[in-house]
Chain A
Amino acid sequence: MNNTSPTPPYEPPRDHYLISAGGHIRSWLLTTDHKRIALLYLISVTVFFFIGGVFATMIRIHLLTPGGVLVTPETYNKLFTMHGVAMIFFFLIPSIPAVLGNFLIPMMIGAKDLAFPKINLLSWYIYLIGGSFVLYSFSTGGLDTGWTFYTPLSSIYSNSAVTPAVLGIFINGFSSILTGLNFIVTIHTMRAPGMTWFRLPLFVWSHYATSLIMILGTPVVAITLLLAGLERMFHLGFFNPAMGGDPILFQHLFWFYSHPAVYIMVLPAMGVVSEIIPTFARKPIFGYTFIAASSIAIAVIGFLVWAHHMFVTGESTYAALAFSFLSYLVAIPSAIKVFNWTATLYKGSISWDAPMLYALGFIGLFTIGGITGLFLACLGLDIHIHDTYFVIAHFHYIMVGGAVMGYVGGLHYWWPKITGRLYSEALSTFAAIVLFLGFNLTFFPQFILGYLGMPRRYSSYPPEFQVLNVLSTAGASILALGYLLPMAYLSWSMRYGKVAGPNPWPATGLEWKTDSPPPTENFHVTPVVDWEPYDYRNRPDLGLAAGAPLAPAHGDD
């Protein structure tokens, strides 16, 4: 994959962020460098991904037979709850923003660091504290409420360690809020000369939208879980019908955040894809302004749809109609993105490198996830498929097929920048294909299971559902392999990989105009931006073919 690099044999930089502050553990734990904090996050979210992944594997093995093969119903309930909590709050939500966003946003806008480096470090520590609470809950009695913590099950009836878990998520919320706050301020005030709003990479736009959701939604779930935790600790009655409280109110408050939270997970992945596609098609992205605006539109409209999780709770019919209508509206900006990405490929110069495969995989899986959302937003269908495996399949297509594919793709794309090394081309291509196939085999059968009526969160099921469950489990084992592979070869490449130049693909963003790995201050001189985003034609510095074909007359259709 280095064959396109036109630069002469490249000497890696002698001083960069990984070594300049020394390798001592203290230099990492007290660092305020956004790049090092990103790596700290990389390690910690990987740990949670691994924990959540182990739970997922056990869930799938358990469901091989109708009666369940592995654990008791009680343990099974804990498994899916802890899988959800670990994956959603401690992996998916921080993954792309806190790892890739943290690493790249300052570099992409030409800044030396985020606006508040100490707060950035603080938010990692808050994440660790929140994470420890949750791990404490997992290891002392576990958690069996479902990641949604519906009351009064969670606040009164559950016998598991609910209190430390809700406190952990409450604490972790502030990590998310501070990250979002830091990004928004940074994007507003730290842009390099010439970096106007409409020259921002789309990755930055999508993180801006993500940060909006983080700062506007997270406080609500924080207070909600705090109230639920107080209710449990002190026998208060906010959401307990026996004392006059209302469990439906909990659901309103919870989904006010937790629906937009889906967009916290997937918007950054859309940002990653919006970077990868133009780079590997070597042409400006089609419909830049529409993609940028659709990110903001998703963030705003995403806040108006939450009660579509409550169509069968006895919600008022009028409210249900309004929320269903608004849910259809939020599908449009996502569709705009998919169409524009596809259109970007047209007449491109497309390479088949691993990041591109991940990005295209993302488009395919996200499209399936998105359109099955249309089924669930549909009131008449939702009364049948609500709370069934259809829902499970749908949001795994969005979160695993979408967010995780984007995250892994982004890691592959920026890995040379982060570590200065290239990984094996053959292995990475293989892993991308394995992931795509394994994923579909795992989750596609679940759509059918759901429509057949298998409810979610079942530790045992009627025998007629077995065939599809076995298929799903088979897929999961392939999927697990697909995740272990990149973990292995990426780690291997850190030491043994080929040295990457500053711009191996080559790509047009500012982050590629500095060394790989970058120096602590990101740029030796503050860059000045005088080009439009993703423009390959006016960038002689990229060293691409001088006589590259120009747009013919009919090209501008």
Chain B
Amino acid sequence: MQSPLPIYPEQASNFAPHVDALLLFITGICLLFGAIITTAIVYCFFKYHRKEAGAIGIVTYEDSRLEVAWIVVPLILAMVMFAWGATIYVDYRNAPRDTLDIYVVGKQWMWKAQQPNGLKEINELHVPVGRDVRLILASEDVIHDFFVPAFRVKMDVVPGHYNTMWFRPTKPGRYHFFCSQYCGTNHAVMGGWVTVMEPTDYAAWLSGVSSGEANPVAVGEKLFAEKFCVTCHLSNGTGRAPSLNGLYGAQVLLADGSTVTADDAYIRESILQPNAKIVARYQPLMPNYQGQLTEEQIFALTAYIKSLESQPVPVTGSGIAPVSEKK
């Protein structure tokens, strides 16, 4: 695939060229400084080699201009490195709108990914080229880390936290992904392949393989009924709990007067810890589902709630923002 001794991995995402350019920039500056210091040392080492046993060196006095120069110049260069690195990082930590969201769960010692249509993969991840992909990462046990060298991105997968990462694949192909946070015995084999496909191939792959697979929206809908969510969260907003139509992505007004964006973390929290954020004008009646749902069931419920977005929202008494919360 590559020359026997490549210096950097393939560039297959929007971040890769930037990270590599930054690498070359910093390497260049460091080589320059390294060369200056090495030359100076080697030169002095031979030039001033002691010729007579009793000789002593010639005193050179410290010069504050010189000291200031070699404080200020490296400082300025360091600030350039900092600023350049910061721009990439800020870009990386703030995903664009309208991403293709894929849920990824790490557990000792495998990765489970779930495509938007519910297709599940183990130690494999298929993504379309040219599309902004966001991975929503959760762990079932210890800390893992999802790392794709060809994309130049990684993110820790921390139990108890949702972390997200995003990238835009730019080149079709198959690339390694690794777990790069040490996670126990089989850490080294907790990896797999990212397959970057042309969008049409991706669509074909999704529909081709996914037949027979349960659609997460469908699974979520079933759960929604099984877990009696449906008895309170009436879609017309007349139930004891707010309607969930159009909830995802909206601003929700809470009882304490603050608002919150209904994202994945919010929905998850509202299922597991319903009383953490009470929607304005509703009572805290909903039982908590902590420990009663698996991570994948929560993903399915979330997917279902997201799908409600597209349905027409019946006019209800709800106020400014689509008010919502499951009770």
Query: Is the A/B pair a real complex?
Result: yes
Residues of A within 8 A of B (CB): 3-4, 6, 73-74, 76-77, 144, 146, 150, 152-153, 156-158, 241-242, 246-248, 281-284, 286-290, 311-314, 317, 320-321, 324-325, 328-329, 331-332, 335-336, 338-340, 342-343, 345-352, 360, 363-364, 367-368, 371-372, 374-375, 377-384, 386-388, 448, 451-453, 455-462, 464, 467-468, 536-537, 543-545, 548-552, 555-557
Which residues 150-190 in B have Cβ within 8 Å of A in the complex? 150, 152-156, 158-161, 163, 176, 178-189
Known contacts A77-B184, A350-B49; is A380 also within 8 Å of B85 by CB? Answer: yes
* A73 CA / B108 CA spacing, docked (Å): 14
- The 4 A-B residue pairs with the shortest CB-CB distance, nearest first, are A453-B149, A380-B88, A283-B57, A241-B160
* A290 CA / B160 CA spacing, docked (Å): 47
Indicate which residue in B71, B85, B93, B155 contacts A336 across the interface (CB closer than 8 Å).
B71
* A338 CA / B143 CA spacing, docked (Å): 38
B4→A157 contact, CB < 8 A: no
Indicate which residue in A4, A144, A360, A371 contacts B33 across the interface (CB closer than 8 Å).
A371
* A73 CA / B263 CA spacing, docked (Å): 40
Q: Kindly state whether residue B44 has any CB partner on chain A within 8 Å.
A: yes
Set of chain B residues within 8 Å of A543, measured between Cβ atoms: 54
Query: What is the minimal beta-carbon distance from B190 to any residue of chain A, in angstroms?
Result: 10
* Most interface-central of A247, A360, A379 (chain B CB within 10 A): A379
B5→A467 contact, CB < 8 A: yes
A555→B59 contact, CB < 8 A: yes
Known contacts A144-B185, A328-B79, A360-B45; is A451 also within 8 Å of B40 by CB? Answer: no
B61→A457 contact, CB < 8 A: no
Q: Kindly state whether residue B58 has any CB partner on chain A within 8 Å.
A: yes
B86→A380 contact, CB < 8 A: yes
Chain B: which residue is nearest A325 at the CB level?
Answer: B82
Query: What is the minimal beta-carbon distance from A32 to any residue of chain B, in angstroms?
Result: 39
B75→A332 contact, CB < 8 A: yes
A328→B78 contact, CB < 8 A: yes
* A386 CA / B15 CA spacing, docked (Å): 15
A380→B37 contact, CB < 8 A: no
A451→B37 contact, CB < 8 A: no
B58→A551 contact, CB < 8 A: yes
Q: Kindly state whether residue B19 has any CB partner on chain A within 8 Å.
A: yes
A349→B156 contact, CB < 8 A: no
B188→A332 contact, CB < 8 A: no
Q: Which among B6-14, B200-208, B226-234, B304-312 touches the partner chain? A: B6-14
- CB<8 Å pairs between A and B, sample of 19: A4-B54, A73-B186, A152-B159, A283-B60, A313-B163, A314-B155, A314-B163, A324-B85, A350-B48, A352-B49, A378-B26, A380-B18, A388-B147, A452-B8, A452-B149, A455-B178, A536-B56, A556-B60, A557-B60
Set of chain B residues within 8 Å of A156, measured between Cβ atoms: 142
Known contacts A150-B182, A247-B160, A384-B149; is A77 also within 8 Å of B41 by CB? Answer: no
Query: What is the minimal beta-carbon distance from A537 to any residue of chain B, in angstroms?
Result: 7
* A346 CA / B48 CA spacing, docked (Å): 7
Instruction: Tell me the interface secondary structure of chain A in the complex.
Output: helix
Set of chain B residues within 8 Å of A460, measured between Cβ atoms: 188-189
* A348 CA / B40 CA spacing, docked (Å): 13
Chain B: which residue is nearest A450 at the CB level?
Answer: B149
* A286 CA / B56 CA spacing, docked (Å): 15
Which residues 27-48 in B have Cβ within 8 Å of A in the complex? 30, 33-34, 37-38, 40-41, 44-45, 48
Which residues 91-107 in B have Cβ within 8 Å of A in the complex? 92-94
* A182 CA / B117 CA spacing, docked (Å): 65
A555→B60 contact, CB < 8 A: yes
Instruction: Tell me the interface secondary structure of chain B in the complex.
Output: mixed
Query: What is the minimal beta-carbon distance from B70 to any residue of chain A, in angstroms?
Result: 5
* A255 CA / B184 CA spacing, docked (Å): 21
Query: What is the minimal beta-carbon distance from A441 to any residue of chain B, in angstroms?
Result: 15
Indicate which residue in A349, A374, A557 contacts B56 across the interface (CB closer than 8 Å).
A349
Q: Kindly state whether residue B63 has any CB partner on chain A within 8 Å.
A: yes
Query: What is the minimal beta-carbon distance from A226 to any residue of chain B, in angstroms?
Result: 21
Chain B: which residue is nearest A379 at the CB level?
Answer: B89
Residues of B within 8 A of A (CB): 1-2, 4-9, 15, 18-19, 22-23, 26, 30, 33-34, 37-38, 40-41, 44-45, 48-50, 52-63, 66-67, 70-71, 74-75, 78-79, 81-82, 84-90, 92-94, 108, 141-143, 145, 147, 149-150, 152-156, 158-161, 163, 176, 178-189
Indicate which residue in A153, A378, A453 contacts B81 across the interface (CB closer than 8 Å).
A378
Chain A: which residue is nearest B81 at the CB level?
Answer: A378
* A71 CA / B33 CA spacing, docked (Å): 42
Query: What is the minimal beta-carbon distance from A59 to any residue of chain B, in angstroms?
Result: 13
B180→A387 contact, CB < 8 A: yes
Indicate which residue in A4, A312, A459, A557 contacts B63 across the interface (CB closer than 8 Å).
A557
B34→A453 contact, CB < 8 A: no
Query: What is the minimal beta-carbon distance from A55 to any residue of chain B, in angstroms?
Result: 16
* Most interface-central of A77, A146, A377, A384 (chain B CB within 10 A): A384
Set of chain B residues within 8 Å of A338, measured between Cβ atoms: 37
Set of chain B residues within 8 Å of A349, measured between Cβ atoms: 48, 50, 55-57
Known contacts A157-B108, A336-B70; is A379 also within 8 Å of B180 by CB? Answer: no
Query: What is the minimal beta-carbon distance from A377 to any residue of chain B, in angstroms?
Result: 8
Query: What is the minimal beta-carbon distance from B34 to any residue of chain A, in angstroms?
Result: 6
Known contacts A77-B184, A247-B160, A336-B71; is A380 also within 8 Å of B92 by CB? Answer: yes
Set of chain B residues within 8 Å of A247, measured between Cβ atoms: 143, 158-160
A152→B71 contact, CB < 8 A: no
A556→B61 contact, CB < 8 A: yes
Given contacts A332-B75, A456-B182, A460-B189, 6 further A-B contacts (CB under 8 A): A150-B181, A345-B40, A378-B22, A378-B81, A378-B84, A381-B22
A351→B50 contact, CB < 8 A: yes
* A457 CA / B186 CA spacing, docked (Å): 10
* A350 CA / B40 CA spacing, docked (Å): 13
A335→B59 contact, CB < 8 A: no
A379→B86 contact, CB < 8 A: yes
B158→A313 contact, CB < 8 A: yes
B62→A286 contact, CB < 8 A: yes
B7→A448 contact, CB < 8 A: yes
B154→A347 contact, CB < 8 A: no
Set of chain A residues within 8 Å of B178, measured between Cβ atoms: 453, 455, 458
Known contacts A4-B53, A363-B37, A536-B57; is A146 also within 8 Å of B149 by CB? Answer: no
Set of chain B residues within 8 Å of A246, measured between Cβ atoms: 160
A458→B187 contact, CB < 8 A: yes
Chain A: which residue is nearest B87 at the CB level?
Answer: A380
Known contacts A157-B108, A452-B6; is A332 also within 8 Å of B78 by CB? Answer: yes
Chain A: which residue is nearest B16 at the CB level?
Answer: A384
Known contacts A313-B158, A386-B180; is A548 also within 8 Å of B54 by CB? Answer: yes
Set of chain A residues within 8 Å of B57, measured between Cβ atoms: 281-283, 347-350, 536
